[in-house]
């Protein structure tokens, strides 16, 4: 029999005795003691009995697992119990910290960081508490736009003790659905309520991606925790590339609105801002289409990338704006099973029960007349749908979205080319609106070629590369329908050339990607705002007009839900720190 050592130690905090093994994560709490000869005991007090009690333990494990374990709660728990070898598995609790899929090798693996608790309660998941003060009688901050930037700016104003008034030209998220149905079924575009305008902005009906590289712009974890507190699944705190899904976003957006209203803020739907009142270089008031005037300590302009009337209004009021580069191209649609077979190296695209629908990110540089520009995938939507995102009759704009389960049989992605002032030279007479007019002309041309409705021009991928008109088109997720055309007629020549060459390169990177089992649909043009509303890098205030805080995607300072939300918070903080001190 092996000999071991046990030491009796007096706990100075509790004035009790503990009996510790020299090399173990457990201890004996002393009740009484009996002596067993093979064990060496260092006596401190006369005792008669010892009862075993495990020490509270928590430990982080960095695991590499197959998907059938990483994404299966029962299998994961069984794996952890076998790994830790604790005697009482019922006392084990788990918390996932980080999860990502690694499909670089033939065998797909899941990297999982997980914290294991034994005989110890798990600390609260969220540090954020949804407990907003009432600001009904506080000084007002005016916020134009109820997208992510506007809503998070409003919540931050409340936290800082100011009343937000949010102006939204579109409808609340529930009523907005009827106008989306009208676009898809009847091909009627409501300029005030569509896939871009309405509660939650363009992000409400999107894939709901929450990944951002803008880590220096704010606290990403805080934004995600606020979303979880308002109904998002806590998995968004774990996954390396989190998303919510278009079917879940409407409820979450309405919960954000309810927090604003319950705290005494206002959210005004069907309320279109038509003018700013600027006196001596300072923004004094906001005018709405119904003839009302609103004042506050300042204005956060968070209208999104498609509010062209706002850009025209700023130009009319001689508020400085600038033309901004963006990206233009098409949306490409494959069968999701094809993308899965390429990315996960699986036969017939069968990724199994547990792996998520696979995605991709592609980028290259392609020269045209001696000038190289980027060609890249944009807003890739695995298991998703293509939707009509025009904001006015007479134009075709497409975008992608995915439900939370990403279970559509289609995948789609924007495939776009960087454009700059060299592309919109013929529109230079429009000054700061030159990029916008260039963008608009391409969208209107697509609509004319498609037949004047929301039927979108399309071409099979390989046919496009080979400059051949497609005799037929594939089944599609785009509800208004497709028309077979030569996309050379739809897009400017530099865009067409770079897309063709880019597709060839991408076909070499992803074997099977370049195929006539995919089709391109035009046009993907609302990748970002074609206008920038310039602001000071430090104060975030407009460089000339005081009390105006350009914010989010529409002003040219964000790209996606999380970066827009962070920018909204920053603008609220900056405005209040400067103009809210003496209120």
Higher pLDDT, 579 or 127: 579
Res 171 pLDDT > 50: yes
Task: Report pLDDT digits (tens) over 247-287.
Answer: 999 999 999 999 999 999 999 999 999 999 999 999 999 99
CATH topology (fold) of 140-320+532-579: FAD/NAD(P)-binding domain (3.50.50)
| Main-chain phi, psi angles of 300, to 5 degrees | -100, 115
The structure's pTM equals: 0.89
Res 25 pLDDT > 60: no
Count of residues in the chain: 583
Q: What is the pLDDT of residue 123?
A: 81
* Residues 551-567, mean pLDDT to the nearest whole number: 95
Structure tokens at 298: 């300042």
Higher pLDDT, 4 or 483: 483
Residues of the chain above pLDDT 70, percent: 90
Report the DSSP beta bridge partners of residue 13. Answer: none
- Parallel, antiparallel or unpaired: strands 140-144 and 299-301: parallel
Higher pLDDT, 57 or 201: 201
Domains of the chain by residue range: 4-54, 57-118, 140-320+532-579, 326-524
- DSSP letter at 475 equals -
User: Per-residue confidence at 348, pLDDT binned at 50, 70, 90?
Assistant: confident
Res 67 pLDDT > 90: yes
Res 9 pLDDT > 80: no
Res 18 pLDDT > 70: no
Q: Tell me whether domains 57-118 and 140-320+532-579 share a fold.
A: no
Q: What is the pLDDT of residue 214?
A: 64
Q: What is the mean pLDDT of the chain?
A: 90
Task: Report pLDDT digits (tens) over 81-117.
Answer: 999 988 889 999 999 999 999 999 889 999 999 999 9
Res 246 pLDDT > 80: yes
Region of residue 30 (left: phi > 0; alpha: psi -120 to 50; beta: else): beta
Number of neighbouring beta carbons within 10 Å of residue 111: 15
Calpha distance 254→544 (Å, rounded): 35
Strand order in the sheet with 26-30: 39-42, 4-11, 16-21, 26-30, 50-54
Q: Does domain 57-118 have CATH number 1.10.30?
A: no
How are the residues of the chain apportioned to helix, strand and coil, as percentages rounded to the nearest 5?
A: 30, 30, 40
Task: Report pLDDT digits (tens) over 499-553.
Answer: 999 999 999 999 999 999 999 999 999 999 999 999 999 999 999 999 999 999 9
């Amino acid at each position: 029999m092996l000999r071991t050592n046990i030491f009796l130690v007096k706990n100075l905090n509790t004035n009790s005795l503990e009996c510790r093994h020299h090399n173990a994560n457990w201890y004996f709490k002393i009740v009484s003691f009996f002596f067993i000869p093979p064990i060496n005991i260092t006596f401190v007090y006369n005792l008669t009995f010892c009862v075993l009690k495990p020490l509270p333990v928590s430990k982080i494990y960095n695991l590499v697992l197959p998907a059938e374990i990483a994404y299966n709660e029962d299998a994961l728990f069984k794996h952890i119990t076998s790994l830790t070898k604790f005697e009482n598995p019922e006392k084990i609790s788990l918390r996932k910290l980080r999860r990502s899929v690694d499909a670089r090798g033939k065998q797909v693996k899941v990297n999982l960081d997980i914290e294991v608790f034994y005989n110890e309660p798990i600390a609260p998941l969220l540090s954020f508490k949804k407990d907003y003060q009432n600001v009904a009688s506080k000084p007002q901050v005016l916020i134009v736009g109820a997208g992510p930037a506007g809503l998070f700016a409003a919540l931050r104003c409340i936290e800082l003790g100011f009343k937000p008034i949010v102006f939204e030209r579109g409808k609340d998220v529930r009523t907005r659905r009827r106008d989306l149905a009208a676009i898809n079924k009847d091909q009627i575009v409501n300029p005030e309520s569509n896939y871009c305008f309405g509660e939650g902005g363009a992000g409400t009906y999107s894939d709901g991606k929450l990944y951002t590289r803008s880590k220096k712009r704010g606290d990403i974890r805080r934004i995600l925790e606020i979303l979880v507190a308002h109904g998002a699944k806590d998995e968004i705190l774990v996954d390396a590339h989190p998303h919510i899904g278009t079917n879940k976003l409407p409820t979450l957006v309405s919960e954000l609105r309810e927090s604003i209203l319950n705290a005494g803020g206002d959210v005004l739907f069907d309320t279109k801002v038509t003018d700013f009142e600027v006196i001596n270089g300072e923004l004094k008031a906001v005018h709405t289409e119904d003839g009302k005037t609103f004042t506050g300590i300042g204005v956060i302009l968070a209208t999104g990338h498609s509010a062209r009337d706002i850009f025209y209004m700023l130009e009319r009021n001689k508020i400085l704006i600038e033309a901004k580069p963006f990206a233009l191209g098409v949306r490409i649609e494959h069968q999701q099973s094809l993308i899965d077979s390429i990315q996960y190296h699986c036969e017939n695209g069968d990724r199994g029960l547990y792996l998520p629908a696979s995605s991709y990110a592609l980028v290259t540089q392609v020269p045209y007349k001696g000038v190289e520009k980027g060609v890249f995938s944009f807003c890739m939507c695995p298991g998703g749908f293509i939707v009509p995102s025009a904001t006015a009759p007479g134009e075709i704009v497409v975008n992608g979205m995915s439900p939370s389960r990403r279970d559509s049989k289609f995948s789609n992605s924007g495939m776009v080319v960087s454009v700059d002032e060299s592309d919109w030279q013929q529109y230079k007479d429009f000054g700061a609106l030159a990029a916008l007019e260039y963008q608009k002309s391409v969208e209107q041309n697509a609509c004319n070629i498609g037949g004047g409705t929301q039927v979108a021009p399309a071409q099979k991928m390989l046919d496009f590369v080979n400059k051949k008109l497609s005799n037929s088109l594939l089944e599609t997720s785009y509800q208004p329908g497709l028309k077979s055309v030569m996309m050379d007629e739809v897009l400017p020549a530099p865009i067409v050339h770079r897309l063709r060459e880019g597709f060839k390169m991408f076909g070499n990177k992803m074997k099977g990607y370049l195929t006539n089992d995919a089709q391109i649909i035009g046009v993907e043009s609302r990748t970002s705002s074609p206008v920038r509303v310039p602001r000071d890098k430090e104060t975030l205030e407009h460089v000339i007009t005081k009390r105006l805080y350009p914010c989010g995607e529409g002003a040219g300072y964000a790209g996606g839900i999380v970066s827009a939300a962070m920018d909204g918070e920053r603008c609220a903080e900056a405005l209040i720190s400067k103009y809210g001190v003496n209120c």
